Amino acid sequence: MAISVLTLCIALLHLLGILAAMHAVQHTRTPQGAIGWVLGLLLLPYVTLLPYLYLGSSRFLGYRVAHQAASPSTPPQTPVPTVDPGCHRYAAISTLHGRPFRRGHQLRLLIDGAIAFEAMLAAMATAEQCLLVQFFIIHDDAIGRRLQQVLLQRAAAGVQVCVLFDGIGSHALPQQYVETLRAGGVAIHRFATHRWRNRLQLNFRNHRKIVVVDGQRGFVGGLNVGDEYLGLKPPLAPWRDTHMELRGPAVADLQQLFAQDWQWITGTRPPLLPSPPGEGDASALIVASGPADPQETGSLFFTTAINAARERVWLSTPYFVPDHSVRAALQLAVLRGVDVRVLIPSRPDHHTVFLASTLHAHQAVRAGIRVFRYQPGFLHQKALLIDRDTAAIGSMNLDSRSFRLNFEVAAMVVDQAFAADVATMLTTDFSHARAVDEREYHDAPYLRRVAMHVARLFDPLL
């Protein structure tokens, strides 16, 4: 009897493996990924079925449908002045995201955690009507409690305070932290898939970092809320990161993105205030991507921006796992004579990604791309510099997770003064970096090189 039950269980697992393999063939984004899942599900379903439930889906079902059915209204806009002529070469990016470049921005580059958090917390403390806050990670540590106190103070002053955090990224956040905010009048929710088809997914994380104060000041970048982002937690300290502040009409687009995520979770709309035109001249476009997009928005953004470069492409990313399109764009830029540089960490925070990044860095160097490893501490900065007039700061890493599986946001700016600030920042970073050469790969122990190639097999999940 026991044998027949065991046989029945094995047969059932193989049947489920066949059904899952059929699903993988139809829905996996790349042929390589489809082959990997199909072989695993057919040959070893008792090993691969559970991971496929958590990691196999590549589309966030329901999110876009929900917004088509009940989309939050856009905050009132003032007439937009003519944008910088340099924006025209990024027309495809504007069309892809369904929103225009807007002119009239004042911008501030916020380098590293101490400066960025002082600016954000000070701005939050001035909120009089509405405060929107979204982070992938919030910790209950010193900086997390400072954020908590500011939020409670503004809520007590009658400000409508809305907070989103990712359920997986902030898995260690105590419920008491959340309940304290709710008791103080703060509307706070964790971003989760929360639909039955997506419920088991570890993918589809909301990696965005957005702060909007009274519809007038917006912040985006790479920093989460935790003491490690202030460089207070070895062995990754000092932590290298960048944020930016915008004032001007594009802040309305940041509000709109927050509103879409808020509506998905709560079914209601947060308050949306009009964003003033601003007193600056910089042109900006809010770039957003996610697994609900009908196209691979993140990868297309990087590919288009790199293809537009004629003088330089400088990239800073903690995870260098480019897909074929981005890798080809970087190689073509080198062939056009463009100064292509990529800044990556010298210390790992995720070992599998670091191994895959090391192999990609080796192949990039062989293609003529200059790759550098930042030496002082962990590099978490996500920055892109194109020629002498364009820069982007945001949450997007150069990996498949940011390209396809996470919700991301960045501000793309066409403005020579801001691009010069980013160039100065990156020049300093490169001065603290070591150039990668082919010896890094060839001098590695044999088993480590094998591990790099094994890690690369997981590119679609990294």
Catalytic residues: 207, 209, 214, 380, 382, 387
Give, to the nearest 10 degrees, the angle between helix 45-55 and helix 2-27: 40
Longest dimension (CA), the chain: 80
Residues 6+ apart with CB under 8 A from 388: 311, 312, 416, 419, 420, 423
Q: What letter represents residue 217's amino acid? A: R
Residues 6+ apart with CB under 8 A from 57: 27, 197, 198, 201, 203, 204
Q: What letter represents residue 195's amino acid? A: R
Strand-pair partners of 410: 287, 394
Task: Give CA–CA dist 30/88, Å, rounded.
Answer: 31
Residue at token pair 């957005």:
210
Strand-pair partners of 111: 242
Q: What letter represents residue 179's amino acid? A: E
Buried b (16+ CB within 10 A) or exposed e, 136-164: bbbbbeebbeebbebbbebbeeebbbbbb
Task: Give CA–CA dist 353/346, Å, rounded.
Answer: 12
Strand-pair partners of 74: none
Angle at CA of residue 85, ends 79 and 89, nearest 5° = 110
Eight-class DSSP state of 305: H
Structure tokens at 416: 């020579």
| 65 membership: H or E segment, kind and range | helix 63-69
Structure tokens at 256: 């709109």
Tell me which residue of 287, 303, 300 sits closest to 392, measured CA to CA.
287
Q: What letter represents residue 191's amino acid? A: F
Structure tokens at 210: 């957005």
Structure tokens at 63: 């999110």
Give the CA distances from residue 222 to residues 155, 270, 347, in Å, rounded to whole numbers and listed in that order: 26, 24, 17
> Following CA atoms 261, 396, 171, 355 in sequence, which dihedral angle do they give, to the nearest 10 degrees?
150
Buried b (16+ CB within 10 A) or exposed e, 381-409: bbbbbbbebbbbbbbbbbbbbbbbbbbbb
